[in-house]
Amino acid sequence: MHSDNEGASQAIRVILVGGSGYTGFEVIRWLARHDGAELVGVFGPKDELGPMEAFYPHLAKMCALSQELFEPDRLADLHADLALLCVPHKVAMSYVPALLGANLRVIDWSADYRLRDPAVYETWYCPHTDTGHLDEAVYGLPEYYAEAIRTARLVANPGCYPTCAALPLAPVIRAGLVEPTGIVVNAISGVSGAGRKPAPKFHFPERNENFEPYGVGTHRHMPEMEQVLGDLTGRDVELLFQPHLCPMDRGMLCTIYARPTRDVTTDELTACLEAAYAPAPFVRVRTDVLPATKYVTYTNFCDVAARAAKGRAVLFGALDNLLKGATTQALQNMNLMFGFDETAGLY
């Protein structure tokens, strides 16, 4: 961590739980750019302990921390203000009660607190063991929930696909320009989205130069998309989400097909997006060029666009699945929660 942080007496103290995955790695990289937050500890399970640079040689001479065993009863000693949870679903909800109990604020990368209705969660994931904190959790999409995020104790950081789909869709459904049902979200993701564990499907010679659909009708981000879009628009949103694996490290792009409620033009759709996102520092409405993943990878930006074509509305969203789709979106939430400039450390 760079020295500026150490000297900043008012820097908040942050712990990271789950440093060995790709999103945890990005936490370390990006917090090193943030003047107001100091990473004071990294924690993980007992079979993944040791110096962070042993997991990520990228971090040598940049992060001297070791991943230590997460022991909830030692939390008080850390005097930490914020816990960042980069752990899988199910694990997250087993840690949250202790963290909140120790007076830490929490941002959770997992799905455990994203779905308001435990029955929906349990249909798509597993039994929920901390339903008591579901109501309190704020869905961490800063473009829409900034007020609630500022004071939240527990932020459920959105999924990558739901962020990428909700940002282009929410304004045009809300404005009544397109029907809230019968929507198709066709999406692609870079392979880092699948995590760090080797498997035949992600073996380089199988994945490279290969484009492949997966999870037809079964991806767990589908109900999350419907929930967040329903919340944002006050409509019953129904959509089909179809993801694909694209042979690149990172980047996500949604191509969304919706039925206009009337004869809309590209200009009307675009104006609707521009009105929604003019004040948003990290959402850009594209007109001259279409969104492409390379404009957003390695950044916290989400690019959106809308076009009318052959009687449909075609919407696009693009972001970096590990950043605006995960880690830097979480840090944007952190900025709101602790009164930093929303963009601090995020360029």
Which residue lies nearer to its own copies by CB, 135 or 217? 217
Looking only at residues 46 through 85 of this chain, which bind its own copies when binding is defined by CB under 8 A?
54, 57-58, 60-62
Q: Is 214 in the site for its own copies (CB under 8 A)?
A: yes
Binds its own copies (CB under 8 A): choice among 8, 13, 33, 116: 33
Piece in contact with its own copies (CB under 8 A), picked from 89-97, 131-139, 142-150, 306-314: 306-314
Q: Is 217 in the site for its own copies (CB under 8 A)?
A: yes
Number of chain residues interacting with its own copies (CB under 8 A): 85
Question: What is the smallest separation between the CB atom of 77 and its own copies, expressed in angstroms?
Answer: 27
- Burial environment of residue 45 by CB neighbours within 10 A (0 to 12, 13 to 18, 19 or more): middle
Q: Could you give phi then psi for residue 168, rounded to 5 degrees? A: -75, -35
CA–CA gap between residue 258 and residue 231 (Å, rounded) = 18
Looking only at residues 194 through 213 of this chain, which bind its own copies when binding is defined by CB under 8 A?
194, 196-200, 202-213
Kindly give, in sequence order, each residue whose CB lies less than 8 Å from that of residue 142, ignoring residues fewer than 6 positions away: 149, 282, 329, 332, 333, 336, 342
Q: Is 165 in the site for its own copies (CB under 8 A)?
A: no
The distance between the two most distant Cα atoms of the chain, rounded to a whole number of Å, is 62
306 bridge partner residues: 315
Place of tokens 């499907």: 201
Looking only at residues 242 through 301 of this chain, which bind its own copies when binding is defined by CB under 8 A?
242, 244, 246-251, 253, 255, 257, 281-282, 284, 286, 288-299, 301
Question: What is the smallest separation between the CB atom of 206 and its own copies, expressed in angstroms?
Answer: 7
Question: What is the smallest separation between the CB atom of 82 and its own copies, expressed in angstroms?
Answer: 20
Catalytic positions, please? Answer: 160
Question: What is the smallest separation between the CB atom of 71 and its own copies, expressed in angstroms?
Answer: 27
Contact (Cβ atoms closer than 8 angstroms) between residue 312 and residue 326: no
Q: Is 35 in the site for its own copies (CB under 8 A)?
A: yes
Binds its own copies (CB under 8 A): choice among 84, 138, 152, 314: 314
Piece in contact with its own copies (CB under 8 A), picked from 91-99, 156-164, 180-188, 331-339: 180-188
Strand order in the sheet with 252-258: 212-213, 239-245, 183-189, 252-258, 312-319, 302-309, 283-285
Identify the CA nearest to 261 among candidates 147, 158, 167, 182.
182
